[in-house]
Amino acid sequence: MKLLFLGDVVGRSGRTAIQETLPRLREAWKLDFVVVNGENATNGAGLSAEHAKLILAAGADVITLGDHAFDQKDMMSFIEQENRIIRPINYARSAPGKGYRIFDAPGGRKVLVAQVLGQVFMSRPYDDPFSAIETVLKTHRAGGLVQASIIDVHCEATSEKMAMGHWCDGKASLVVGTHTHVATADAQILPGGTAHLSDAGMCGDYNSVIGMDKAEPLRRFVTGMSKGRFQPAKGEATLSGVYVETDDRTGMATRIEMVRQGGTLQQSGPGPV
């Protein structure tokens, strides 16, 4: 299967790039299944129902969220109506929505998508991510009832993201990090066959501080004082993420490529667009 995962969409710049570029990527790379992290798509904080619809219409099969899952209040009810949105599995017991689901892919194939929050340097003490994912993968191992699986590991520390990759190795097709908004360069297929990238990066304007207009973050770093709210940067976004090919029979990865399309970053992808 040909899978694409794109990291955190930030603000209007990220949404516009998704709308304009994702349909072309789907076509050019003959993608079977696309997952987009949407946790910062609405003004940099959370995802509104309106913007979720827009990302799905542009060609995402599933949207994952993160620690900002419910920053936009209408997501509390919209996530119960729209099955194609996944929040972290260990967010809170009382949270609406689901932390994983199985979706249909072309040719009658099935894809598991799950998201889990890390614990290192995160603002809240979330439940153990490793046992949460273990429970899911015990019953939904890639190459069994599902042909492919994508685990979005949403956390700060690359150590925790690499550890999660190894924890899932041989059981999931792709384990990919989100949340830091800056991609790592360690795309690899682990010994057991799981594709891994510690962080997918963001779909946002990289002439910024992690997607936000530079002025206010710089002021806070330099002076220690804030003057206003963070606002998403408005320049052209780079779509950032990872492309993976998997073997339907085993569920394991056969190819992994970093993806960076548009905007200011060095470009990369599995082929021409």
Closest to Fe ion by CB, 40 vs 246, is: 40
The answer to the question of residue 40 lying near Fe ion (CB under 5 A) is yes
Q: Which of 66, 193, 204, 269 lies at the binding interface for Fe ion (CB under 5 A)? A: 66
Distance CA(166)–CA(192), nearest Å, equals 9
Active site residue 68: yes
Nearest to 165 by CA among 135, 141, 138, 194: 194
- Considering only residues 154 through 213, tell me which ones interact with Fe ion, judged by CB under 5 A: 179
Alpha-helix runs per DSSP H in 125-201: 129-139, 158-168
Q: Residue for token digits 């490529």?
A: 257
Q: Which of 68, 140, 154, 179 is catalytic?
A: 68
- Considering only residues 7 through 36, tell me which ones interact with Fe ion, judged by CB under 5 A: 8
Distance CA(147)–CA(264), nearest Å, equals 35
> 177: which residues sit within 8 A by CB, 6+ positions away?
152, 153, 154, 155, 158, 161, 184, 197, 198, 199, 200
Q: Residue for token digits 């360690």?
A: 186
Q: Residue for token digits 């339907």?
A: 248
Cβ atoms of 141 and 162 within 8 Å: the answer is: no
Token readout for 257 is: 């490529």
Alpha-helix runs per DSSP H in 85-179: 129-139, 158-168
How far apart, in Å, are the Cα atoms of 175 and each of 69, 199, 262? 20, 10, 24
Q: Report, as residue numbers or ranges, the catalytic residues.
A: 68
**Which residues make up the interface to Fe ion (CB under 5 A)?**
8, 39-40, 66-67, 179
